[in-house]
Amino acid sequence: MGIEELLSCPSLPLLSLNHVSFVCKSVIESARFYQEVLGFVLIKRPSSFNFEGAWLFNYGIGIHLLQCNSVNDVRAKPLVINPKDNHISFQCTDVALVKRKLEEMGMKYAMAVVEEGGIQVDQLFFHDPDGYMIEICNCENLPVLPLSACPLKKSSAYNESNKWSRVSLANVKALHEAEMERRMMDNLFADMIDITM
């Protein structure tokens, strides 16, 4: 299947992100971390599972913890916090308060700042007990805008390497741009209604 065929396929009928799943050295230790540090609550897990694990929920998302078969199944916890590593991100109301609480708990963290059009987003990164990266940010400061509404500045290397795709995908982009923008705005509107209720 070519790229044009992939882009012309209708998107999957998805509703939202349900959960993220992590393999753990110790489900008990990781569950305690997600409860005490991030405020998640243990919820009932289907009894038909034949392996140890735990389900937690808060902020509209689930965290599913799975006990590893061997500690070798879980990567070693990185010594350095790299904000460009895979991570999950949570918005917060007060990054400075989160920073103070992590310091009180003796947790190692790294900070970063993203700026766009005079808007500043503060980011705080740290690891869970198994080395999975977590970000806490005030990302709500940055508006969510469809790409069609934002002219992007791309490097000359990007533009040169993608000449063929701009030509071959121009028609596909034109067909789907309005539909994707409509879906994004519908979802944003639905989220805003949920927040106000």
Q: Do residues 90 and 124 share a domain?
A: yes
Max distance between CA atoms of the chain, in angstroms, equals 55
Instruction: List the CATH number of the domain containing 42.
Output: 3.10.180.10
Q: Do residues 104 and 131 share a domain?
A: yes
Q: Which of 67, 92, 82 is nearest to 112 (CA)?
A: 82
- Say if residue 86's pLDDT is above 80: yes
- Say if residue 169's pLDDT is above 70: no
pLDDT of res. 99: 96
CA distances in angstroms from 88 to 51, 132, 138, listed in the order given: 24, 8, 14
Q: Do residues 19 and 65 share a domain?
A: yes
**What average pLDDT does the chain have?**
83
Summarize pLDDT for 120-149 with one digit per residue, the tens.
999 999 999 999 999 999 999 888 888 877
> Is residue 60 a part of any domain in this protein?
yes
Pairwise CA distance, residues 180 & 66, whole Å: 35
Q: Give the range of the structural domain holding residue 36, as residue numbers without chain letter.
A: 14-72
Q: Do residues 52 and 91 share a domain?
A: no
What is the 3-state composition of the chain as percent helix, strand, coil, each rounded to the nearest 5? 40, 25, 40
162 pLDDT band (50/70/90 cuts)? low
Q: Do residues 31 and 86 share a domain?
A: no
> Is residue 95 a part of any domain in this protein?
yes
Radius of gyration in angstroms for the set of CA atoms belonging to the chain, rounded to a whole number = 21
Count up the domains in the chain and report the number.
Answer: 2
115 is catalytic: no
Q: Which of 135, 21, 130, 22 is nearest to 77 (CA)?
A: 130
**Half-sphere exposure of residue 120, counting CA atoms within 13 Å on the CB side?**
5
**Which of the residues 115, 135, 140, 181 is marked catalytic?**
135
The residue out of 72, 94, 114 marking a domain boundary is: 72
Q: Do residues 79 and 131 share a domain?
A: yes
- Say if residue 155's pLDDT is above 60: no
27 pLDDT band (50/70/90 cuts)? very high
163 pLDDT band (50/70/90 cuts)? low
Q: Do residues 37 and 81 share a domain?
A: no
The pTM assigned to this predicted structure is 0.71
